[in-house]
Structure 1
Amino acid sequence: MTVEQGPQPRRVSVFDSTLRDGEQAPGNAMTPEQKLEIALALEAVGVDVIETGFPSSSPSDFKATRLIAESLTTARFATLNRADPADISLAAEAGGVGPNHQLQLMATGSDIHLEHKRGLTRAQGIQEIVDSFRFARSLGFATVSLAIEDASRGGEAYLRPLIEAGVAEGADTVVVADTTGCLIPAEYADLIARVRSWIPDDVVLSCHCHHDMGLSLANALAGIAAGADEVQVTLAGIGERSGNTPLEELAVVLAYKGEQLGVTSTVHTDRLYPAYQLLCGFIGLTPPRNKAIFGDNAFATQAGIHQAGMLRAPITYEYVEPHRFGRERLLLVGRHSGRNVVRHVIEQAGVPVDEALVEHLYEDYVANRTNGECVSTDDLRQLVLAKVAGHPTGPTSGPAVAR
């Protein structure tokens, strides 16, 4: 008797834009050599495509593209370019025209941008894409994508002929950008579903979502559910204004909910945090304490009720497992902690647990704290050992220890 296997999960491609959209935001500039280090770390993470930058924008982006193109061994790389022969020629010079180089040609996707940014008609917007694709093919580019800026505010009467023209000229990827982060998931899913119906199955459909309303990940997931094949992301969500879909947040959803969603990726979650630390060192990034996966408090707690449960079984309050993301569980001692963590620290210190000792330590180091600072359990363990060594009959009350 054979057991029928369920449908195989669909692999979603991960396209990383940390070095382009991420770097072009204020305060995020990197040298070409730093970009290379980040690119190699992202390759180790397992992303499929690494965007090197905008070669025509600066000598630095040109050099970074060349360095990365020469160094990657498993991931492909991409460049972003205007629909302009000069940009395309520079991209070819920087990274070559082989299949490992995904040339992205930026199309103007909305009447707003056509009128106020470009001064073009719809017909001109489509024609420049046709001309640019033909020029790229004449140079020998094997992989060319149509990256539609502000697609989320483009109407079907313009978007559809624009996309169909790009596909007719050989676009193997169509990138649907919610450039201003103006859509909610239902709207973005509807847009992706419509674009999917306009293009052949073998053309990759890619999501590029911004975080202006805090919906970049939600929109990307809605896009996947509607038929997208790829998500463009950045480490820690860095990017223009409020940023982009965070790589680590997409990774955690696919790690824990991928089977439910019917999708998978090649991301190695345990390699994300080292890549993030490298990025922080280069651009001086300090995240909010509460940021998912990368935040200082993502796997830390000081609340007594939570700690009581976690000391018995971490699963009580820990759904995402820190070790899967290269992180550690932290039980911190602060004024919201309880006696359970004090007992735990005493046990870990190898000192007999005496309730009088527990009470003294609780009063000294927990209950009477007047600020929000915490000490680690390791720090408290050392304080316990010192206290017990100095007061063999039990500690007396003293000032709260702050760090």
Structure 2
Amino acid sequence: MEFKEPIEQLIRDPRDFTRDIPFPPASELRIYDTSLRDGEQMPGIAYTPEQKYEICRKLSDIGVHIMDVGFPAVSQDERQSLQLIMQGKRKGEIRGDLDVVVMCRSNAKDIDATLRALDDIDVAPGDVTFFVFTSGSDLHMKYKIGKTLLAREGKSESEWLELPLSFYRTANIRMQCDAIRYARGKGVRFVEFGGEDGSRGDVDYFIELFREGIKAGGTRPSWPDTVGCLTPEATRWFCSRIVAALPPDIPLLNHFHNDYGLATINCITSLACGFKAFTVTANGYGERAGNVPLHQVMTALRVLYGVEIPGFKYEKLRELARFMESMSGFPIEAHEPIIGANVFSHESGIHTHAMLIDPRMYEAVPARLVGGQMQFIFGKHSGLAVIDSTLRKHESRLAAAGVKVDDSLSKRVLEEVKRVREERARTGHVADIVTRYYDDMRRLGLTEDDVIRIAEGLGSSTAAAV
């Protein structure tokens, strides 16, 4: 509908409240997708090398800049995945400027294993970015990798619990920097680095870790909220201090998890503080509650904050979502923002009546922007206006069947629609769908009982052989 007044006069633009936020230039922001590594760590998901290649093609096409492909040193499948992706870049099926990231821990053994894996598939060390990671919180430094740090420093394990946190902090920085220098010395041009559990660590320590890592040759510091515990307020507190302490040309990377449903707003808050790269996963897949959903952060940045990242194909977000569902076996919720099956669907009579006037009545996310289309669902809450509109839309078809559309027919159709929907509700089929869904989810991975039964079978066969 054409309104008499400008739309800006009729409704408040959400960007009125965000225009002055000092985001980095949109052309400098980098979308870092970790669907093939962090996304695959979601229990029940396991991609083949061929599937990883197709996923990478889709993400390259939609416009991500950086792709985390995981640990090529750990298995033949991981190496094959990387090989296919690098071949795809050479053939032009994957963008040549896609930054491919491989991961390894902060030690020469892991780096050498990764270099051998690259050599096996004819990939030069300078053709990929190495993510060399360590721990970032005192909890992780002392109690997760503490014995490793003791061995590096020539200390006995008997000193593990008695040595102060300062020992582990110093040893950890030394280990990180030695690994960065070692990788650079082996021909690696780009080294991403950082420590797990950064959001529960000391910000001054992380700044020191980053400064020393940059001196050692690191090129992209990564700061993670590994357990998804940050609020936007805490994110702003941490990120503003980190940005202020480092040179402005350093491309800081954030990494948020979604344990409290705050990953998207934390990611945006971090960018508002000056971070320039942000990790996401397609459909938000990932460990526990998942990662920053690509569809949420990209659409929110554009529609709510006016930040449109050049080259990104927003209109393919829903297509990508369906593709990822088919690859992973995990359907997303019908009411998932942006990409859910129901987000552009309307049933309520009051809503549908207004939507017939103009979709902007009840849609703040433009459906076409993300490849969606408004639709009406007919049921218990439907009103007469949407039934009448639908019948008149198909009036020629009904006329061919000898049916005349009038007010009486619309009322009778509405009554029948409500009756049929209520009858379906009494059958219990919805509960059956939910039960089957959870049964299928359980079958995607093996249970503890499955593992014990495997052990019993293997143990029995070994005993019989003896």
* TM-score bin, normalised by smaller chain: 0.7 to 0.9
Decide whether aligned partners of structure 1 residues 269 and 371 sit closer, same or farther in structure 2, where only a CA change above 3 A counts: farther
Task: Verify the 8 A CA contact 1:147 1:174 in the aligned structure 2.
Answer: yes
**1:294 aligned counterpart, secondary structure:** coil
Task: Verify the 8 A CA contact 2:283 2:324 in the aligned structure 1.
Answer: no
User: Hey, what does 1:317 align to over in structure 2?
Assistant: 362
User: Hey, what does 1:115 align to over in structure 2?
Assistant: 142
By how many angstroms is 1:94 displaced?
4.2
Measure, in 1, the Cα distance between the counterparts of 2:304 and 2:274: 17
By how many angstroms is 1:23 displaced?
0.5
Q: Which moved further from structure 2: 77-86 or 220-229?
A: 77-86
Misfit runs of 4+, over 6 Å: none
**1:370 aligned counterpart, secondary structure:** helix
By how many angstroms is 1:370 displaced?
1.1
Task: Verify the 8 A CA contact 2:325 2:332 in the aligned structure 1.
Answer: no
Measure, in 2, the Cα distance between the counterparts of 1:325 and 1:94: 39
Q: How many positions carry a matched residue from both structures?
A: 366
Q: Which amino acid aligns with 2:416?
A: D
By how many angstroms is 1:371 displaced?
5.5
**1:310 aligned counterpart, secondary structure:** helix
Measure, in 2, the Cα distance between the counterparts of 1:91 and 1:272: 33
Measure, in 2, the Cα distance between the counterparts of 1:372 and 1:246: 34
User: Hey, what does 2:265 align to over in structure 1?
Assistant: 218
Measure, in 2, the Cα distance between the counterparts of 1:143 and 1:371: 62
By how many angstroms is 1:99 displaced?
5.2
**1:362 aligned counterpart, secondary structure:** helix
2:101 matched to 1:85? no
Q: CA RMSD in A?
A: 2.0
2:217 matched to 1:170? yes
Q: Which amino acid aligns with 2:360?
A: I
Measure, in 2, the Cα distance between the counterparts of 1:332 and 1:25: 32
Measure, in 1, the Cα distance between the counterparts of 2:409 and 2:317: 42
By how many angstroms is 1:327 displaced?
2.1
Measure, in 2, the Cα distance between the counterparts of 1:180 and 1:328: 36
**2:252 aligned counterpart, secondary structure:** strand
User: Hey, what does 1:237 align to over in structure 2?
Assistant: 284
Q: Which amino acid aligns with 2:264?
A: L
Give the one of 40, 43, 67 matched to 2:84.
67
Mark the runs of 5 or more structure 2 residues left unpaired by the alignment: 1-19, 90-95, 150-167, 399-403, 426-466
Greater relative contact order (Cα 8 A, min sep 6): structure 1 or 2? 2
Measure, in 2, the Cα distance between the counterparts of 1:146 and 1:265: 26
Task: Verify the 8 A CA contact 2:203 2:242 in the aligned structure 1.
Answer: no
| Structure holding more helix per residue | 2
| Structure holding more strand per residue | 1
Q: Which amino acid aligns with 1:69?
A: M
User: Hey, what does 2:462 align to over in structure 1?
Assistant: none
Decide whether aligned partners of structure 1 residues 66 and 204 sit closer, same or farther in structure 2, where only a CA change above 3 A counts: same
2:344 matched to 1:299? yes
Task: Verify the 8 A CA contact 2:334 2:342 in the aligned structure 1.
Answer: yes
Give the one of 51, 54, 69 matched to 1:52.
69
Task: Verify the 8 A CA contact 1:210 1:244 in the aligned structure 2.
Answer: yes
Measure, in 1, the Cα distance between the counterparts of 2:116 and 2:87: 12
Q: Which amino acid aligns with 1:160?
A: I
Task: Verify the 8 A CA contact 2:126 2:187 in the aligned structure 1.
Answer: no
Measure, in 1, the Cα distance between the counterparts of 2:222 and 2:311: 20
Measure, in 1, the Cα distance between the counterparts of 2:73 and 2:223: 22
Decide whether aligned partners of structure 1 residues 36 and 24 sit closer, same or farther in structure 2, where only a CA change above 3 A counts: same
Measure, in 2, the Cα distance between the counterparts of 1:209 and 1:97: 30
Decide whether aligned partners of structure 1 residues 256 and 59 sit closer, same or farther in structure 2, where only a CA change above 3 A counts: same
Task: Verify the 8 A CA contact 1:148 1:174 in the aligned structure 2.
Answer: no
Decide whether aligned partners of structure 1 residues 271 and 122 sit closer, same or farther in structure 2, where only a CA change above 3 A counts: same
Q: Deviations over 1:344-384 (max 9, x none)?
A: 111111155311111111111136631677xxxxxxxxxxx
Task: Verify the 8 A CA contact 2:222 2:254 in the aligned structure 1.
Answer: yes
Could you state the TM-score of these two structures normalised by the residue count of structure 1? 0.86
